[in-house]
């Protein structure tokens, strides 16, 4: 019975972490979208572009690190993308949240391009890691399994 309860607690911890990561990614995406037109002394400040890149990289890495689940690691990037895509659509009043011409349009495009790129890089790293927790063996004292003959190349 102890093994079953341990797996249940572990599963609940992973599910709880997944919920926290999804909510964090959604909140961060909403804040970033509304920071897009931020101006200081009349000068457009692209703080949301930096927040999108750093946030997407960190949330995916943190989700993988906390849970060891590649599925949970992908969820923050998917959530960020869904919120940003929703912000690109027209509201019933006809307003656009994510739009703009001129310098705001350039910052919006940089936000989309760099945010999606950071999410793709983070997800690729999470899905490409040989172990769920880290790229090296999670057990101390054990070397990671190596593939191939060890000769250094195909012959």
Distance, CA of 75 to CA of 14 (rounded, Å): 12
**Which pLDDT belongs to residue 10?**
77
pLDDT digits (tens, 9 = 90+) for 18-54: 899 999 999 999 999 999 888 899 888 999 999 999 9
Distance, CA of 147 to CA of 62 (rounded, Å): 27
The yes-or-no verdict on residue 132 having pLDDT over 60 is no
Q: Is residue 65 part of a domain?
A: yes
How is 35-97 classified by DSSP, letter by letter?
HTT-EETTEE--HHHHHHHHHHHHHHHHHHHHH--HHHHHHHHHHHHHHHHHHHSBPTTS-BS
> What is the percent of the chain where pLDDT is above 70?
80
pLDDT class of 68 with cuts at 50, 70, 90: confident
**Which pLDDT belongs to residue 24?**
93
Which residue bears the tokens 């972490």? 17
Mean pLDDT of 58-73: 90
Q: List, in order, residues 6 or more apart from 112 with CB less than 8 Å away.
A: 84, 98
- Token pair, residue 129, equals 């890691």
Q: Is residue 82 part of a domain?
A: yes
pTM comes to 0.75
Strand-pairing partners, residue 43, are 40
Strand-pairing partners, residue 40, are 43
Strand-pairing partners, residue 105, are none
Enclosing H/E stretch for 101: none
Q: Is residue 30 part of a domain?
A: yes
Q: Is residue 138 part of a domain?
A: no
Mean pLDDT of 102-123: 91
Mean pLDDT of 74-102: 86
Number of domains in the chain: 1
Distance, CA of 39 to CA of 49 (rounded, Å): 14
The yes-or-no verdict on residue 74 having pLDDT over 80 is yes
Q: Is residue 43 part of a domain?
A: no
Mean pLDDT of 109-131: 89
Q: Which domain holds residue 20?
A: 13-36+49-89+97-128
């Amino acid at each position: 019975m102890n093994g079953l309860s341990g797996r249940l607690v572990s599963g609940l911890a992973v599910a709880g972490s997944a919920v926290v990561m999804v909510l964090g990614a959604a909140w961060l995406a909403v804040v970033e979208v509304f920071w897009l037109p931020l101006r200081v002394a009349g000068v457009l400040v692209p703080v949301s572009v930096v927040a999108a890149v750093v946030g997407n990289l960190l949330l995916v890495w943190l989700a993988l690190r906390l849970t060891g689940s590649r599925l949970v690691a992908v969820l923050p990037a998917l959530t960020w993308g869904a919120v940003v895509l929703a912000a690109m659509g027209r509201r019933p009043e006809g307003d656009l949240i994510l739009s703009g011409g001129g310098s705001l349009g350039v910052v919006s495009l940089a936000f989309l391009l760099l945010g999606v790129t950071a999410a793709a890089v983070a997800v690729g790293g999470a899905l490409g890691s040989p172990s769920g927790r880290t790229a090296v063996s999670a057990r101390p004292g054990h070397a990671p399994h190596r593939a191939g003959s060890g000769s250094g190349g195909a012959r």
